[in-house]
Structure 1
Amino acid sequence: MIANYGFNATLTAKPRMGDRLVELLLTGLNEGSPGASEHCVVYLVSRSASDPDVVHVTEGWTSEEDHHRIFAREAAQAIVAQFAGMLAKDPEYTDYVPVRGKAAF
């Protein structure tokens, strides 16, 4: 499948909560979670090299509609509700249209 919609989210955790935030975001890859959907073709969780409480999530989806549909489900809403209490400030989002690239994990 090809990603036709994507975004990068920067999440700043409350002090010393970066590890917990990363662990929670990685549950998004579990069976039944958003990142496990066939419509999610990229789900990458990264840490800032200079601040362990800053976490970046890069997602690529088959379409914006698929992303919104999957994130309206209970599993995705549960993850969002949990990480909301860990954040020091509102997430910052940058949307994009993937052109071409490579991912090997």
Structure 2
Amino acid sequence: MIATYGFNITLTARPGTGDRLVDLLLTGLDESSPGASEHCMVYLLSRSASNPNIVHVTGGWTSEEDHHRFFAGEAAQALMARIEPLLAKEPEYTAHVPVRGKAAF
């Protein structure tokens, strides 16, 4: 399978809650979470080098439809509900069309 839909999202946590945000996002690799979906080709978390409360998520999915279908589901909605109170502002989301690359973690 290859990724035909991707995104980057920047999340800014409330001061002092960056570690908690990262911990919750890492549960995205657990069974029934985004990173465990057969349609998720890339699930990468990064932190800002200058601000530990800024977290970036990069995702690559087999299709935009698979991505939206998964995030409309109960498990993803529950994760988002736990993340939302930690955020200092609205997430910055950018959709992408993957061309080519490599992911080896």
Give the structure-2-normalised TM-score. 0.98
- Give the aligned length: 105
**Residue 34 of structure 1: CA displacement?**
1.6
Determine the structure 2 residue equivalent to 1:85. 85
Alignment of 1:21-100 (within 5 A): 21-100=21-100
SS at match of 1:58: strand
Work out the CA distance in 2 between the residues paired with 1:61 and 1:102: 14
Work out the CA distance in 2 between the residues paired with 1:20 and 1:26: 10
SS at match of 2:25: helix
**Residue 35 of structure 1: CA displacement?**
1.4
SS at match of 1:15: coil
**Residue 103 of structure 1: CA displacement?**
1.2
Unaligned runs of 5+ in 1: none
SS at match of 2:31: coil
Work out the CA distance in 1 between the residues paired with 2:24 and 2:62: 23
4+ aligned runs moved over 6 Å, structure 1: none
**Residue 82 of structure 1: CA displacement?**
0.7
